[in-house]
Amino acid sequence: MELKLDLSREYGLVLEGGGAKGAYQIGAWKALREAGVKIKGVAGVSVGSLNGALICMDDLERAEEIWKNIEYSHVMAVNNETIKALKERDFKNLNIPELLSSGFQIVKDGGFDIAPLKSLIEEVVGDEEKLRNSKRELFAVTYSVSDRKELAVDIRNGDAGSIKDMLLASAYFLAFKNEKLGGKRYMDGGGVNNVPVNVLLDHGYEDIIVIRIYGLGYDKERVTEIPEGSRVYHIAPRQDLGGILEFDKKHTRKNMTLGYFDAKRFLYGLYGRIYYIDAPNTEPYYFDKMMSEIELFKIYMQDTLNEEGMAALTGYRAFTETLFPKLAEEFKLKEDWDYKDMYLGLLEDLAKRLKVRRFQIYTVDQLVEEIGKKLRALDKVKQPFHA
């Protein structure tokens, strides 16, 4: 695989707010770190600012440990089992009187008690000096309710003892009980600027990687003018990452894995919507492969075409003029799709149907071989299918 990013340059990271979806950002950072991408600084909102602190301290091991073991009770003063029962609609295991009492208390307090989140921030930051002495800049975006303005706080250069407060200020989600910090009230920065590309541009960054998680908030990047000569790249999920308060370790582990492989797709120019495919050759090469493997796809089409339809699949024109245009619609390929797109779409769809392992980087030949193994296991082909 060939790395597509210039490793001689320094990059800024933009980390969007999105609560529990933030696990995705740590997975993506792991891939960037492995590739040797130089990170000069981070602009983060809410969970993005907390992850940004871990990135600026270069503490991947701690970041993974936190996200792999996260629970609802690590963020809010709630009972994990109660939350899980509510999520799964398991009403038999709910203590209704206790649930009602807790609900009334949350309303009375004006939101969820986030003492656990404060403890988590304390754990993340630990010794403030480590963050202050980082070679990477960290800007945490929040909204000062008291001053009625957006702030992009330079965490490293804040007053002594202010770091934890400013990270909490950036993460003050509306559902949380809001308390004054340093005599002022703050609100989660996502409401005013959930994708703060402008913050890094204003500080002279020319190469910026945005890690999207599509949290709730205002996407200010859409109205931010990118100066000539600046380059903004995106790593983004192609599936729903779940709820912003879904602090369930099984779910966050999956999102971390997804972030890791999506970043690999970005770094190495991998193909695929679901799978991660190294496919460096041009359209004619894949057209020839597709037509040479036509028997494989006939096996695939048996589940979707009747006998008459299968009998009509003779000659290139039956595929190129009739079948492929229909499949392009089904696969939702771009309007100007080519035969490389079609071939990879067929492989992905068949691999998905056969439940081929997703989180792995495949060459085209490796993916074809895995499909062949699955078909042989189902007794649909007798001999090994060679790519």
Q: What are phi and psi of 40, to 5 degrees?
A: -85, -35
Catalytic residues, by residue number, are 46, 188
| Closest CA relative to residue 367, chosen from 232, 229, 242, 274 | 274
* SS3 label, residue 265: helix
Distance CA 379, CA 320 (A): 29
| Chain centre distance of CA 150 | 26
- Residue linked to tokens 């997975």: 27
Whether the CB-CB separation of 328 and 337 falls below 8 Å is answered with yes
Residues 6+ apart with CB under 8 A from 353: 300, 303
Pairing assessment for the beta strands 137-144 and 149-154 based on DSSP bridges:
antiparallel
288 to 35, 315, 369: CA distances (angstroms): 33, 14, 17
Q: Would you call 336 exposed, middle or buried from its count of C-beta atoms within 10 A (0-12, 13-18, 19+)?
A: exposed
Helix %, strand %, coil % for the chain, to 5? 50, 15, 35
305 to 171, 177, 299, 327, 376: CA distances (angstroms): 53, 58, 10, 12, 21
Total residues found in the chain within this entry: 387
Whether the CB-CB separation of 140 and 188 falls below 8 Å is answered with no
Distance CA 2, CA 270 (A): 10
Distance CA 245, CA 236 (A): 19
For the record, the structure tokens of 252 come out as: 């966050």
141 to 174, 220, 239, 310, 350: CA distances (angstroms): 15, 12, 26, 59, 44
